[in-house]
Amino acid sequence: MKLNLVYEFLKSLPVSNESSDRGNITIRCPFCGDSVKSRDHGNFSIKIDVKPGEPMLYRCFRANCGISGILKSDTLQKLGCTNMNTLLELSKYNHTINKNLDKEFISRKPRNYQMVNITNQLNLVKLNYINRRLGTTLTIADLKILKIQLSLYDFLKLNNIHKLSYNYTYCDLLNQYCISFVSMYSDYLICRDISKKLITNRRYTIYRTTGVPSPEDIKLYSIPAELDLLSPVIATINIAEGPFSILGAYFNTNMIKETENVLWLANCGSDYLNSILHVCKQYGLLDVKINIWSDSEIKLNKYEKLLKTLQNRLIIREFSVLYNTKAEDFGHDKDNIAISKTTLLKL
């Protein structure tokens, strides 16, 4: 018995050799990267012809890898599968063996919320703050493209959201003194207090747009970009701690030469590991380049540990850490950015 969609996906991979007598298919290993000398050879064997209730086992026969286990939906994603029906076919089959074996893959979709930035005195003050800080000449219209929302109440009113996540007094402060960055799935506003005296008593307030908060929530801010999974260009993930820092890196540095398949992300309080893995899982990324635009207080050894952990889950083609030697982060204009770059890995 073969799972048709899974079988067709595995057969479609650039390197796939089927052994019909043993019911196996051999491809390049998504864990170790497989043979470097021979790019048309694979050592990752998967049992695709199974009896009902029998798991689809895999094993890499490369001497310095040897990884083995049960094929699950996250492994298919590591191989580049983004088709929901294919992922669900495998996940549902694994549930017939053991309900706890494979967590069903759920691709996140953004909430269908709209943005509006009205040209009024308060919003123009906030726009001026952004342009002074970053040395940009952004317009009100540009902010919508960048998913920057100036007024909390305008956002809630436009999207018919009536229940507030905080009390009226605090929401008044957020509306008056904060600039909001709409999260990757529009389920959060990352509200940045720009007042000199930090009137909200927090630099950042994470505002849940609607619904009940969940440990599975993702509070990433992402500058909108398009990914072409069929392109031979390896995806580059640029990630910083805060929204202003990643915007400064995006507008005021020229370190990134690629223009295709480039992501710009801000953690917004999440850890780098989960943020990177989530994005790779969401978009089906296997081979990636990673640039960390770091705050100055975070030491390099933390990123060395991060790299080791990621290498067990992804194929990392390049991994670099960048510091701004003129300030604590990259959330500044060009004159206040000087880059110190350390490349920890380059294949």
Residue ranges and CATH numbers for the domains of the chain are 4-97 (no CATH), 121-208 (no CATH), 223-346 (3.40.1360)
Q: Mean per-residue pLDDT for 173-189?
A: 95
Q: What secondary structure letter does DSSP report for 248?
A: H
In whole angstroms, how far apart are CA 114 and each of 117, 186, 224, 296? 10, 9, 14, 35
Q: Is 80 exceeded by the pLDDT of residue 84?
A: no
Q: Kindly write down the DSSP assignment for every residue of 137-196, as one continuous string.
A: ---HHHHHHTTEES-HHHHHHHTT--S-SS-HHHHHHHHHHEEEEEBTTSSEEEEEE--T
Stronger pLDDT, 106 or 347, i.e. the higher one = 347
Phi, psi (rounded to 5 degrees) for 78? -60, -30
* Mean pLDDT of the 73-97 span: 85
Percent of the chain with pLDDT over 70: 96
Confidence of residue 182 (pLDDT cuts 50, 70, 90): very high
CB 75 within 8 A of CB 57: no
- pLDDT value of residue 216: 63
Which pLDDT value is given to residue 21?
A: 72
Q: 287 phi and psi, to 5 degrees?
A: -95, 130
Low-confidence winner among 170-179, 192-201, 306-315 (lowest mean pLDDT): 306-315
Other CB atoms closer than 10 Å to residue 1's CB: what's the count? 12
pLDDT, residue 111, reads: 87
Mean pLDDT of 242-267: 89
- For the chain, give the percent of residues with pLDDT over 90: 59
Q: Residue 39 in contact with residue 232, Cβ under 8 Å?
A: no
State the Cα–Cα distance between residues 309 and 28, nearest whole angstrom: 21
Residue 109 is predicted with a pLDDT of 78
In the prediction, which pLDDT does 16 show?
84
Separation in Å, CA 264 to CA 60, 120, 225, 290:
34, 29, 8, 10
Walk across the sheet containing 204-208 and list its strands. Answer: 148-149, 178-182, 188-193, 204-208
Confidence of residue 215 (pLDDT cuts 50, 70, 90): low
**pLDDT of 32 over the 90 cut:** no
pLDDT (average), residues 57-80 = 88
Residue 103 has pLDDT above 70, yes or no: no
Q: How many residues does the chain have?
A: 347
> What pLDDT, on the 0 to 100 scale, is given for residue 225?
86
Confidence at 35, pLDDT banded by 50, 70, 90: confident
Q: State yes or no: pLDDT of 347 exceeds 60.
A: yes
Query: Is 16:26 a contact under the CB 8 Å cutoff?
Result: yes
Taking 80 as the threshold, does the pLDDT of residue 172 lie above it? yes
Mean pLDDT score across all residues of the chain: 90
Nearest to 292 by CA among 249, 228, 229: 249
Burial zone of 347 (CB within 10 Å; 0-12 exposed, 13-18 middle, 19+ buried): exposed
pLDDT surpassing 90 at residue 257: no
Residue 23 has pLDDT above 80, yes or no: yes
pLDDT value for 214:
67
Q: Is residue 108 within 8 Å of residue 183, measured between CB atoms?
A: no
Whether 277 shows a pLDDT value over 90: the answer reads no
pLDDT at residue 256 in the model: 66
